Structure 1
Amino acid sequence: MIPVPVVVCVVGGWCVLYLTDTLIKSSRSLKNRYETWLSASGVTLSPFHIRWQTGLFNRLFARCARLHPQLLHLWFGAGMVFGVVSMFGSVALLTRTLLQTLSRMSSDTPEGSHEQVLQVVVPGVNLPVGQLAYFFFAILISGVVHEFGHGVAALREQVRLNGFGMFIFVIYPGAFVDLFTTHLNLISPVQQLRIFCAGVWHNFVLGVAALCFLFLLPVFLFPFYYSGVGALVTEVMEDSPASGPRGLFVGDLVWGLEDCAVRGVADWHSCIVQLAHNPQTGYCIPASSLQLTWAAGRAFKRLDGTVECCSNNSLTDICFSYSGNHGSKQFSCLPARRTMEDAPTCHTNADCRAAPSSALCVTPSLENQTRLVRVHHPPEKDMLFLGYPSHLRFSVSLSDFVPRLGFLRLDLPVVMETFCKYLVSLSGALAVVNAVPCFALDGQWMLTSFLDATLTSLLPERSRRELLGFFILLAGSALLAANVALGLWMVTAR
């Protein structure tokens, strides 16, 4: 479900804004000056929608449209080809996404069993509140670049640009260009197609550029940050299993989880998955330090069948199991840190042959899916984590990059990396969605121009082409609406 505080804040904020606008307009002394200011500044306000339009950037658009005419002709020609291909490709992609969603709904497939290319994003539900700034800035930049493509392409085709603007609808920001419709209707269908396809083309280019920057980020940051030596802790959640006096701290460099080496964030995640799926690691301990506790009556079985032999509720002692001389299972309550500190890992007694002659392999006797893990972060002593490995993953934020100079921010590479990921995904999604032949989207005008450019000889009458386009747009709109509705239901019904 969508969090109630998010709904209250959004609805309440818009109600206050609209009520203030209504009160000012109802005031005799302020109404004229207020409406004059709105008209001069290009601001328009309506329920859950605020819009701003200006002509300040018209010269910038015109200057860009005059740069290298031949190069721009090739550029927007390539955009036209991409737009036509993406128009058909978006329909195939949405059809596949819809079938995947229906399959998950009918078979109760686990959410993580397969990834969907397109997903509905709801702030506060499947978008962390702490990353809202990334989301809004990325979608705003994607929208500005999208409309910039339309504006430059239109001026290049001798279509007048009335102005450029931005808006906020509910919580989603966006941008737009206002083109002179009369000029737009006078040019050929191919020219129109170049203009209408320029938006999705520029979104695609922006996504590719952000993706390249993401891959080359280590090269760009090399003079200031180095990588490949571990995972740097940039944030530790309060009251999490990784916090505390003997936990992890911001600035620690994690080198490994048990015997799994960590050279970066990807290794950290793979090691956690490996530890979660593999049996609990054991430790080679001298037999002389083991004290049998099963016979003393202190051990008992848990509901899941595992054994607990430390009945004093100690926060430092853990029950360990091991195989005795005759192969029988025995248990001993031992202090965890002293037992595991610098102890070689093992899985059977045979793995402890290299240890002192009387060493045995002892394994923590824990509940199912629970693990005891040593987190190596020298020069500090190992952190001992007891719990579900997935909790360790979400308790700590890490970075691949270690600053070379003390004044550099630890989280700057993470901020850049996260923003690039949002820019790639949102700019790509904007390209896909706008290319769908759907009412009120770029796909509607792309389809109309495409039909006029290709079917004029087969269907000379414009009314027949419009009728064909209407049915295609109706199907595309239904396909997009079904994806949004089912995707929103799947997200909010968790």
Structure 2
Amino acid sequence: MDLILLSAGFLLFWSTILFTHYILTSCLVHPYINLSKTIGLKIKPFYLGVYLNRIEYGLSRYVNRYDKFVETWMNLGVFVSLFLTPVSICILLQTVVNLISHEKQKSKNFGTLEPLLPGVNLPFSEIFYYIIALIISSVFHEFGHFIAALKEGIKVNGAGISFFAFLPIAYVNIAEDQLNRLAILCKLRIFCAGVWHNLALGLFTASLLLLNPFILSPLYKTGEGVVVLSTQENWDASGSHGIQTYDIITNINRHCRVTSKEEWKSCFLNLLTEPDESYCVSQNFINEEEFKSEGETCCVENLKRHLCFNNLHSEQHLCLPVRQILEKFTTYCNETTKCLNGYSCIKPKVETPGFKLMELQRKDKPAFLFWGHPYELYNSLSVINYNPRFNFLSLLWLQRWENLLRYITSFSLALSLLNSIPCFVMDGKYITKSSLELLFKRFFSKSSMHLVELSLSIFGTILVIICVSLGFLSVVKNHV
């Protein structure tokens, strides 16, 4: 349903753009026509582009005024970008190995790449963060090239941004004849500026994410647990046992402490691999509370507070009230660890693979119980780290702000990584060529360096293609 609505909205958006553009140009609306010429507006089916000339006026004065600072900044960018190239190649190689061997979990700390597909591993509700973050990351990348070109005295013919469907791409048009006449180090400053500015932007937004709890501490509390921001519309939120917005979740199944979204996610990942929990329950409780249904059915469907349990030391099936068991009995057991005399070891009967009994402990409220797959519960609850100190404060804007920062961090760091790799149509090709000339011009002939540069570019291009292709296949396989 979401895919249909998104597709309809996508087609409606582009149809409206095309229709409006056609009407305004056909009716000779001169203000619109003049504006289109000024900003270089071009509109075609699923394409919108803007191109501006003479944009360096004004900025060049500031670049010249802070010439030493800009030069130092760009030199630092060259050093970092050259260091990043082998690191990026290693990350892509590790990603390819992980995707081929299906052992992604073993290399979490090293870093891997994963493409985002709207409606697959990117929720439709976050498509706007996706587009805005791409625009900011792409514009900041080209802004780096733009400032570096001004610093080296290169004419900037213009700059623009184009939208292909929902994919934004920014670009800068630099005078190539002047660029080719520059010294090698000056070229490197321009070529590395995009990678450097993306890396700087990604580190800056990542720092904001880390510092947010301290910056916002006068208004929001953190560390008590995660706060429920929203739930699925069809959830039963009535009564004290139902999950509601602003509930503070402190533990999952008692033993997994939750103080942040990272721990929240980690607890659910652990649920997927941990065995089902079993409980020592007194025989007196079983005799008093067991619901005995007729026929082979363990629990009838209208008993929402009951669940079917297996007795681990017999073939007996028991229909018992779940909440009473969790509130009265806190001793766990398994097939090898027996309970005390007068107690039986029972665990939920799993008829659907992956189903688990989950208990979410809440601050100042009874625990919320859920019987189902952990993925279902995880995807049905939206949580945030912050608990407002004052009732008038909203959590929605804070969630949007952090989501945007996360997407900018991911996209900007990914752009810096990909553009540092020697690959055709990427900055890395020109960075590699110029760095080879700078380092080995005295030792090797021009043809030898060209051969090395071509070989590295072919290798990098093949590596990127393999990584992206395997990434798409893996995402589709795991999420569709």
Deviation at residue 249 of structure 1 after TM alignment: 0.5
In the aligned structure 2, how far is the partner of 1:443 from the partner of 1:286? 71
Q: Would you say 1:157 and 2:146 are equivalent positions?
A: no
CA contact (8 A) 1:6 1:124 kept: no
Partner of 2:39: 41
Q: Does 1:476 align with 2:460?
A: yes
Cα gap change, 1:90 to 1:19, in 2 (>3 Å) = farther
**Alpha-carbon distance in 1 for matches of 2:105, 2:4:** 26
Residue 257 of structure 1: how far off its partner (Å): 3.0
Say which is worse superposed, 123-132 or 161-170, in terms of deviation.
161-170
Deviations 1:250-290 (A, max 9, x none): 01112333422433334433444445513324264571562
Secondary structure of the residue that 1:216 maps to in structure 2?
A: helix
* Matching residue of 1:335: 321
Per-residue Cα deviation, 1:321-343 (whole angstroms, up to 9, x for no partner):
558xxx75655433334454454
More divergent stretch after superposition (359-368 vs 205-214) = 359-368
Per the alignment, residue 30 of structure 1 pairs with 28
| CA–CA separation in structure 2 for the residues paired with 1:363 and 1:490 | 35
| 2:365 aligned with 1:380 | yes
Distance 1:479 1:18, change over 3 A: farther
1:280 equivalent in alignment to 2:277 = yes
Q: CA deviation at 1:456?
A: 3.5
Pairs within 5 Å for 1:451-470: 451-459=436-444, 461=446, 466=450, 469-470=453-454
SS of aligned partner of 2:28: helix
Helix, strand or coil at the partner of 2:365: coil
Q: Would you say the 8 A contact 2:289–2:321 is kept in 1?
A: no
Change (3 A) 1:339 1:160: same
Deviations 1:185-207 (A, max 9, x none): 22212101111101101111111
Q: Identify the range of structure 1 (263-272 vs 398-407) with the bigger mean alpha-carbon deviation.
A: 263-272
Mark the CA change 1:450 to 1:12 in structure 2 (over 3 Å): closer, same or farther: farther
Structure 2 Cα separation of the partners of residues 23 and 481 of structure 1: 42
Preserved CA contact (<8 Å) 1:285 1:339: no
Which deviations, in whole Å up to 9, do the C-alpha atoms of 1:381-415 show, x marking residues without a partner?
33221222332222211112101111111234433
Instruction: Report how far residue 418 of structure 1 moved.
Output: 2.4
Aligned mates of 1:93, 1:319 — CA distance in 2? 48
Whole-Å separation in 1 of the counterparts to 2:97 and 2:286: 60
The structural deviation recorded for 1:156 is 1.2
Q: Radius of gyration: which is bigger?
A: 1
SS of match in other structure, 1:254: strand
Contact persistence 1:322–1:329 (CA under 8 A): yes
Does the Cα contact within 8 Å between 2:54 and 2:157 map onto a contact in 1? no
Distance in 1 of aligned mates of 2:466 and 2:15:
30
Cα separation, 2, equivalents of 1:34 and 1:292: 76
Q: Write out aligned runs for 1:34-73 (5 A).
A: 36-46=34-44, 48-55=46-53, 57-73=55-71
Report the CA distance shift for 1:11/1:445 in structure 2 as closer, same or farther (over 3 A): farther
- 1:58 aligns to what SS in structure 2? coil
Give 1:268's match in structure 2, choosing from 264, 271, 274. 264
* Partner of residue 82 from structure 2, selected from 81, 84, 91: 84
Structure 1 CA distance, aligned partners of 2:4 and 2:104?
24
* 1:197 paired residue number: 192
Does residue 491 of structure 1 match 2:456?
A: no
Letter in 1 for 2:276: P
Cα RMSD after superposing both structures: 3.7
Secondary structure, counterpart of 2:189 in structure 1 = helix
- Give SS of 1:423's match: helix
Counterpart check, 1:117 vs 2:112: yes
Per-residue CA distance 1:299-328 (angstroms, 9 max, x = gap)? 74xxxxxxx6335752233334558xxx75
Aligned to 1:439: 424
Correspondence for 1:305 = none
Change (3 A) 1:406 1:351: farther
Kindly state the Cα deviation for residue 437 of structure 1 after the two structures are TM-superposed: 2.2
Task: Give the distance between the partners of 1:316 and 1:235, measured in 2 at CA.
Answer: 24
1:256 to 251, 254, 268: 251
After superposition, the Cα gap between the structure-2 partners of 1:153 and 1:124, relative to the gap in structure 1 and judged at 3 Å, is same
Question: Matches of 2:178 and 2:389 in 1, distance apart?
Answer: 57
Q: What secondary structure, in the 3-state scheme, does the structure 1 residue paired with 2:422 have?
A: coil
Give me the whole-angstrom Cα distance separating, in 1, the residues matched to 2:465 and 2:343: 66
- The one-letter amino acid of 1:165's match is G
Q: Aligned letter for 1:269?
A: K
Specify whether residues 376 and 48 from structure 1 end up closer, same or farther in structure 2 by C-alpha distance, changes over 3 A only: same
Measure, in 1, the Cα distance between the counterparts of 2:302 and 2:16.
55
How far did 1:97 drift? 3.0
SS in 1 for 2:366: coil
2:381 maps to which of 396, 399, 402: 396
Count of equivalent residues: 470
| Structure 2 SS opposite 1:167 | strand
1:17/1:67 Cα in 2 relative to 1: closer, same or farther (>3 Å)?
A: same
8 Å contact from structure 1 (residues 283, 340) kept in 2: no
**Which 5+ residue runs of structure 1 have no aligned equivalent?**
301-307
**Cα separation, partners in 2 of 1:9 and 1:484, compared to 1, 3 Å:** farther
Q: CA deviation at 1:79?
A: 0.9
Q: Secondary structure at the match of 2:264?
A: helix
- By how many angstroms is 1:220 displaced? 0.9
Q: Is it true that 1:290 corresponds to 2:287 in the alignment?
A: yes
- 1:145 paired with 2:161, answer no
Q: Does 1:316 align with 2:305?
A: yes
Kindly tell me: are residues 235 and 285 of structure 1, through their superposed partners in 2, closer, same or farther at Cα, counting changes over 3 Å?
farther
CA–CA distance in structure 1, aligned partners of residues 59 and 299 of structure 2: 74
Partner of 1:450: 435
TM score, norm. by length of structure 1: 0.81
Taking a change above 3 Å as real, the CA distance of residues 477 and 6 of structure 1, as seen in their structure-2 partners, is farther
Aligned CA distance change for structure 1 residues 362 and 460 (closer, same or farther; 3 Å):
closer
The one-letter code sitting in structure 2 at the alignment partner of 1:453 is: L
TM-score, scaled to structure 2: 0.83
Q: In the TM superposition, what is the alpha-carbon distance from 1:454 to its structure 2 partner?
A: 3.5
